[in-house]
With several copies, the nearest count.
Chain A
Amino acid sequence: MSAVETATTVDAVAGDWQPTADELAGGLRTMLLLRRFEEEMQRLFLRGEIHGTVHLYIGQEAVSAGVCSALEAGDWVAATYRGHGAALAQGSDPEALAAELLGRRTGTCGGRAGSMNIVDLDHGLVGCFGIVGGSIAAATGAALGCRGGDRVAVAFFGDGATNQAYFHECLNFAKVLELPVLFVCENNLYGEFTPLAQSTAGADIAGRARVFDIPAARVDGNRWEVVAAAARAAVARMRAGEGPQFIEALTYRHLGHSKSDAGRYRPPEEVEAWLARDPIDQLRATLADDERADAIDAEVGGELTAAVERALAAPFPDPAVDRATEYAP
């Protein structure tokens, strides 16, 4: 079974949420924001404005856009080094995010963090975590902090992360304590250059959750409304006190793993098949209102261009002024 076939023969989704046209348009807006933002960042990286490395999310937008649409203020999200999508889906300011990647004083973290380590507590982002699997722990902990209330936490992580210590220990821990944490595995079929099946014994990621008695849905991660429905159902169960939930979202990154990767390890047919399943195209088709879609795209594009310009105009932090302290007072 090819990867695309796999992605389309997923579990039926628990939950019967039917989005309105406005909701679909809202989802499309978020996804376009994520897409256009990343395209801008890619350009800036190639121009040498962004330093170090950058991991782009293009192609996977439906996952965080879908999941975060099911959350409320006060809920928490932990994401990965590939985390711009989750940050924006949580409402993080694109200008500040761009400024952070550009290393500017006005960045989300004052330029201290950079792309891989963004934190934005005001928008419920506990953090982006550079250690594969680290997000799983952060969200588990946030959920421990939420126990007894009705707030929930979400961990985003990749398929490769399911082979990490954090994955196993935290899923077990969360279930033993019945913590309200939603584990969202963005299965994009590769960890860096290594195909899933070569690193992940059994290749049954949802099964790895089910063996802990954690309810797990395997869904088409390229369809916003499918992810959003699964997330709504999972979040409702968590708010009802049913403990941790799991979603495996099958998706694909359109580009390489990070800056320098041309992605040559992936068969061209595979890439093509997935490009044909672009989540934005699919949601446009569902919305079936090209005029509205184009208007949203134009609006998002305009806002972003302005935001990036402002970010580029912002000053770098001045070490003489950035009075950092080792310890919180």
Chain B
Amino acid sequence: MSDTTFRKAICAALEEELERDERVLFFGEDVAAAGGVFAVTPGLYERFGPGRVFDTPISELALAGAAFGSAVVGKRPVFEVMFGDFLILAMDSLVNQAAKFWYISNEQAPVPLTVRCAVGAGGRFGAIHSQTPTPWLLGVPGIKIVAPSTPADAKGLLKSAIRDDNPVVVLEHKRLYSISGPEGDGTVPIGEANVVREGSDITIVAAMRGVHDALAAAETLAGDGIEAEVIDLRTLRPIDERTVLESVAKTNRVVMYDEGPELGGWARGLLGAVAERGLEDIDDSWVIASGELPIPYSPTLEDDFLPSAERLADEIRARVKAPARA
């Protein structure tokens, strides 16, 4: 398969699933006629028409509610919330309706609903257009959260999300839309992390853009004789603890690397899971995340606020060289 971009891979996934299953709908603000503000979905409206692909009012709560209700009666809605920051307006329907329905209905019907949103900082969009909604949704049983780092995973995970019978939130990091890579040609299973680099000295766990930082740091560290194993989580709920535990059992050191915040983010909780299930394997473990602040606008502040490949490499170098725990 030839290379494609992250945004094109997403569009291809939507196109293929709309084609494959006529129950699939796709809607959102300016996604149809205009093709999306991040230019991710051009052509779908022209191809599938307004009955399947349509623009909506600026009403995130109604979007989520309409998706929920249509899913319960048999559609497979996919809707876009332009920036992940706005997902918070839709949360009641996601959390109190979609996530609970399967269980409280006594499994009368599933809720096959997918939300896509652009997330993440580093684009100088300021505090209200740069957040990643993971912390708000991580503690919601019934929801799945996927977080791809490559075009192939973006495509494969979105396809899996659309075919999944549960509400799935698909996080698309803004600073990945333009990256290139193989397109991939199938689904990617939800809930399975990916060891993207093998190593024996430390495990770096990351997601989305963080995976690229982790790989860059691992390259640098290799020059210093430190071999880092890099795990791309790919799904944040449910979280693939097993792959992480297996890696830590081998490397005995782990750093969770996330865009942040630390308190309430996936990174600390995953470290807690490792402490619960793999305590005897850990010689050293920590979290690198952002500061506990809203995301700043000014380039100097935002760059300092976010964790970086450099900081990751530096901290690992300092700690792995230090004497290991007795």
Name A residues whose Cβ lies closer than 8 Å to a Cβ of B: 51-53, 76, 78, 103-104, 107-117, 119-122, 126-127, 129-134, 136-148, 153, 160-161, 163-166, 169-170, 172-173, 176-177, 191-194, 198-200, 265, 316-319, 322, 324, 326-329
Contacts and interface: CB of A to CB of B under 8 A. Distances in A.
Contacts of A173: 56-57, 59, 62-63, 66
A126 B73 CA distance: 8
Given A76-B73, A130-B96, A326-B293, A141 B67 contact: yes
A177 B34 CA distance: 18
B180 interface: no
A127 B105 contact: yes
Interface stretch (B1-9, B125-133, B200-208, B224-232): B125-133
A230 to B, nearest CB: 23
Interface string B41-77: 0000000000100111111011111111111111101
A243 to B, nearest CB: 14
B126 A113 contact: yes
Contacts of B75: 144-145
A146 B33 CA distance: 23
The interface centre, meaning the residue of B85, B102, B303 with most chain A CB atoms within 10 A of its CB, is: B102
B86 to A, nearest CB: 7
B70 to A, nearest CB: 4
B104 A126 contact: no
A141 B68 contact: yes
Given A109-B104, A117-B126, A324 B293 contact: yes
Nearest to B129: A130
Nearest to A109: B106
B97 interface: yes
B7 to A, nearest CB: 14
A323 B292 CA distance: 13
A44 B292 CA distance: 31
Contacts of B64: 137
A137 B59 contact: no
B80 to A, nearest CB: 13
Interface string B138-162: 0001101000000000000000000
